[in-house]
A and B are shown apart, each in its own frame.
Chain A
Amino acid sequence: MVTSVTSMGRSGLYDWLMQRVTAVILLAYFLLVGWVLICGVDYASWKALYAQTWMRVFSLLALLSLGIHAWIGLWAVVTDYLTERLMGTTGNVLRLLAQIVCAIIMFTYVVWGIQILWGF
Chain B
Amino acid sequence: MLQVSIYRYNPETDAEPYMQDVQVDTGGKDLMVLDVMELIKAQDTTFAYRRSCREGVCGSDGVNMSGKNGLACITPVSQVVRNNKLVLRPLPGLPVIRDLVVDMGMFYAQYEKVQPYLQNNTPAPAIERLQSPEDRAKLDGLYECILCACCSTSCPSFWWNPDRFIGPAGLLQAYRFLADTRDTATEERLSRLDDPFSVFRCHGIQNCVNVCPKGLNPTRAIGHIRNMLLSRAT
A and B found bound together: yes
Interface residues in chain A, defined as those with a beta carbon under 8 Å from any beta carbon in chain B: 1-4, 7, 10-13, 15-17, 75-76, 79-81, 83, 85-86
B88 to chain A, nearest CB (A): 26
In angstroms, Cα B201 to Cα A88, docked, is 21
Give chain B residues whose Cβ lies under 8 Å from the Cβ of A4. 195-197
Interface of B is mostly: loop
Contact indicator B163/A7 (Cβ below 8 Å): no
For A16, list chain B residues within 8 Å (CB): 200, 226
Interface size on B, residues (CB 8 A): 23
User: Could you tell me the distance between the alpha carbons of A70 and B40 in the complex, rounded to whole angstroms?
Assistant: 51
Query: Does A80 contact B197, Cβ atoms closer than 8 Å?
Result: no
Chain B 219-234 interface 0/1 with A at a Cβ cutoff of 8 Å (1 = within): 0000000100110011
Residues of A within 8 A of B193 (CB): 1, 12
Closest residue to B163 on the A side, CB-wise? A85
Q: Which residues of A contact B156 (CB under 8 A)?
A: 80
Does B161 count as interface, using CB distance less than 8 angstroms? Answer: yes
The answer on a CB contact under 8 Å between A13 and B161 is no
**Does the CB pair B199–A12 fall under 8 Å?**
yes
15 A/B residue pairs, CB under 8 Å, sorted by A: A2-B164, A2-B196, A10-B196, A11-B194, A12-B193, A12-B194, A12-B197, A12-B198, A12-B199, A12-B200, A16-B200, A76-B201, A85-B160, A85-B161, A85-B162
Q: Name the CB-closest residue of B to A84.
A: B163
Chain B hits for A3, CB < 8 A: 195
B192 within 8 A of A: yes
Give Cα A1–Cα B192 distance, bound, in whole angstroms.
5
Shortest 7 CB-CB contacts between residues of A and residues of B: A12-B200, A2-B197, A80-B160, A12-B196, A7-B196, A2-B195, A2-B164
